[in-house]
Structures are given as structure tokens and as C-alpha cells.
Amino acid sequence: MWDDDEDERSAAKFKSLSREEAQALREREPSISPWRVVVVQALVGVMLAVLAWWLAGRVVALSALYGSFCVVLPGALMARGLTSQFSRLNAGVAAVSFMMWEFGKIGVSVFLLVLAPKIVHGVNWLALLLALIVCIKIYWVALLWRGSKKR
């Protein structure tokens, strides 16, 4: 049922990297700052709001702006948490920190969506959700962006 031999072979293939090898790997596979992703999300959200204002008016623009805010604010909170000194203590603390910040991010997003009708009077849900989805998809663009930098 369980293939212990395969696990042992996989463990035998694992090799720790030297300092030079790790540095070369970091140069070959650079990471993207979570703050850069948050800034790009905010810029895309503002552009969507301007486009919505131009096409459909003030309420639709405010709805689109609020939809992007529902992604940017929680993303900024998570970026702050993940880049703090506490989350760098060790791998276990980093993993737990990531989970806690992710749960917090989801909670803040849901809370902001519940508040939407109270904050944006006459909210246009279609514009809000479209902006929210587009801003969320920036994560995928960042991954593609990172992949294209390697080539």
C-alpha cells in the first residue's frame, strides 16, 4: 500500500545547497516582493475605476474602486505580516504565520464585502465583483511576470 522504498530513494536524492549554490539559485529564481503585487493591484483598481467612470458614471466607478479596495487592503495587511521580522524566525513560524495572515486576509475581505452596501450607496455589484476578480488575478500576472524574467 505505502511505498517506503520510494520515500527513502527520494530522501537519498535530496542534497543541501552550499552558500554559493543557494546564491546562484536566488539569482536565477528571483522572488517578487508582495508589496510590488499590492501596488500593481492598486494601480489596476484605480485604472478600472477611471474606466468605469468614463463608461458608466460615478456609482459604477465607486463600486469598482471599492471592489479593488476589497483586494488591496487585505493584500497589504498580509504583505505586512509576511515581511515582518516575526515571520522570519524559522520555517515552522513562517508557515503558521502565513496561515494566520491568510485567514485574516479572507476575513477582512468578507467583512469589507458585507459593508459594501453601507459604504457605497447604490452599489453596482457587477462592477464591484469584476474589479475584485481582475485585482485578484494580478497574482497570476505576477507569477507570469516572474517566469518571463527568468528567460
Q: CA dihedral defined by 108, 102, 136, 84, rounded to 10 degrees?
A: 100
Over residues 28-45, the pLDDT tens digits come to 777 777 888 899 999 999
Residue type, 141: V
Question: What's the confidence (pLDDT) of residue 151?
Answer: 47
Candidate from 46-50, 90-94, 143-147 with smallest mean pLDDT: 143-147
- Residue written as cell 494580478? 138
Span 60-89, average pLDDT: 88
pLDDT over 80 at 10, yes or no: no
pLDDT over 90 at 49, yes or no: yes
DSSP string, 14-69: --PPPHHHHHHHHHHS----HHHHHHHHHHHHHHHHHHHHHHH-HHHHHHHHHHHH
Span 101-116, average pLDDT: 94
Question: What's the confidence (pLDDT) of residue 127?
Answer: 96
**Model-level pTM?**
0.75
Span 122-129, average pLDDT: 96
Question: What's the confidence (pLDDT) of residue 57?
Answer: 92
Mean pLDDT of the chain, nearest integer: 84
Question: What's the confidence (pLDDT) of residue 92?
Answer: 77
Q: Cell for 146?
A: 516572474
Q: For residue 26, count CB atoms less than 10 angstroms from its CB and return exposed for 0-12, middle for 13-18, buried for 19 or more.
A: exposed
Length of the chain: 151
Residue 118, CA distances (Å) to 44, 106, 112 in order: 24, 20, 10
Residue 150, CA distances (Å) to 17, 27, 38 in order: 20, 9, 21
Question: What's the confidence (pLDDT) of residue 140?
Answer: 84
Instruction: Read off the pLDDT band of 95 (50, 70, 90).
Output: confident
Question: What's the confidence (pLDDT) of residue 2?
Answer: 60
